[in-house]
Amino acid sequence: MANIHEKGLKIGLVALAALTVLAGCGALPSALKPPARHHRRQQDPKSGSGPSSDSGSTYRPKSTSVPVEGTDFPKIMAMAMGSVKGLVASSAEAPTVIPWPATHSTVLYYMPSVQGLGSGIPGLIDRYQINLSSPPDAVAAFSSAVFSDPSTASENVESLLSADGLSVPLTGASMPLAHGVAATIGIKGKINILAWHQEGWSVVVAARGRLPVASAKKVVYYLETHLMPVPQPNNEGQALVVVDVRENGPYTSVAWQEGRWVYSTAAYPTAANPITTALELAWSMRDYSTLQRGS
């Protein structure tokens, strides 16, 4: 039997059925402009052209999500964040967009999980994570976590690589991608890796048996055309995008540090456009605790 969260979420997403027509448009809806949050780059997005654009206009990856009823937080996110408490509640963040399942189902379920002291994660004090699924598949996730100090927060961001068995190549041939961005080519066993730095973010894209050039270019285009969160302190905190392309599709993780805090998003092959979805969830994250304090 579905739990109380699942029941409430299914009801809350009825409105999505009427909005699916928006998902087919090639440009991001104007309602999806970057929301205010703690630290966000102030410069205008750079212009560039994507693979399907020959008009010279700014390339925007196809939107995989839409806001519900024009609210800051879609109903599903407000419901999912309803039980956040403890220390993490003081600076918790949540996306203002909804990830679409690849099946185009309008039914999405959420399941919160909490970790803290005793979890075995070095330095972790409190973490609140929301897992989103469209049964039987996990679709995406996002989390807010606070650590004992900035050093352990930084190490937690870096652990995304080791969790996937990946590493950043220190030396290797260079491959131009787009917008003046070039990646370093690395090999780890049977895994081919492309790694680079862009707009304050470290990016690692990996695949087995081939160089994941197309997936890497998706990340380049997104970082080039969107105002992403800025790692702190002083733009020197860790910020990492990891794309692990498997036979069934890309697993994409995004994480960034703001002092003792780490925020993360993830999308799985069962999401529509998983790479864009994970980045878009991160791009749309904003401070949920402000809303809580004001309520």
pLDDT in tens, 137-154: 999 999 999 999 999 999
Q: How far apart are CA 35 and CA 32, in angstroms?
A: 8
pLDDT of 144 reads 96
Residue pair 122/152 in contact (Cβ under 8 Å)? The answer is yes
- Written in H, E and C, the secondary structure of 20-49 is HHHHHCCCCCHHHCCCCCCCECCCCCCCCC
Tell me, yes or no, whether 207 lies in a domain.
Answer: yes
In a domain, 29, yes or no: no
pLDDT of residue 169: 82
Q: How far apart are the C-alpha atoms of 94 and 75, rounded to whole Å? A: 12
Closest CA to 144 of 292, 291, 286: 286
CA atoms of 1 and 30, how far apart (whole Å): 39
Q: Name the packing angle between helices 213-225 and 274-284 (round to 10°).
A: 20
Rounded Cα distance between 257 and 254, Å, is 11
CA torsion, ordered 69, 74, 78, 79, to nearest 10 deg: 90
β-sheet bridge partners, residue 254: 241, 265
Asked, as a colleague might, if the bond just before 35 is cis with ω within 30 of 0, I would say no
- The answer, yes or no, to whether residue 222 has pLDDT greater than 90, is yes
Cβ(147)–Cβ(260) under 8 Å? yes
Taking CA atoms, 287 is separated from 73, 178, 182, 234, 267, in Å, by 10, 32, 33, 19, 21
> Has residue 36 been placed in a domain?
no
Residue 235: what pLDDT?
60
Q: End-to-end distance of the chain based on CA atoms, in angstroms?
A: 32
Residue 243: the pLDDT is: 97
* Mean pLDDT calculated for residue range 196-224: 94
Residue 38 domain flag: no
What per-residue confidence (pLDDT) applies to 252? 97
Q: What tokens does 124 get?
A: 């972790």
DSSP state letter for 17: G
Query: Would you say residue 266 lies in a domain?
Result: yes
Q: What is the pLDDT of residues 3-50, one digit of tens each?
A: 333 333 332 333 333 222 222 222 223 233 333 444 444 333 333 322
Q: Which amino acid is at 134?
A: S
Confidence band, pLDDT 50/70/90 cuts, at residue 258: very high
- Domain span at residue 199? 4-21+45-294
pLDDT confidence bin for 168, thresholds 50/70/90: confident
3-state secondary structure of 221: helix
Q: Looking at residue 234, what is its pLDDT?
A: 67
CA 158/CA 210 separation, integer angstroms: 24
User: For residue range 180-191, what is the model confidence (pLDDT) as tens digits?
Assistant: 999 999 998 889
Place of tokens 């529509």: 272
User: So what's the pLDDT on residue 233?
Assistant: 66
Total domains in the fold of the chain: 1
- The verdict on residue 16 lying in a domain is yes
- Quick check: is 162 in a domain? yes
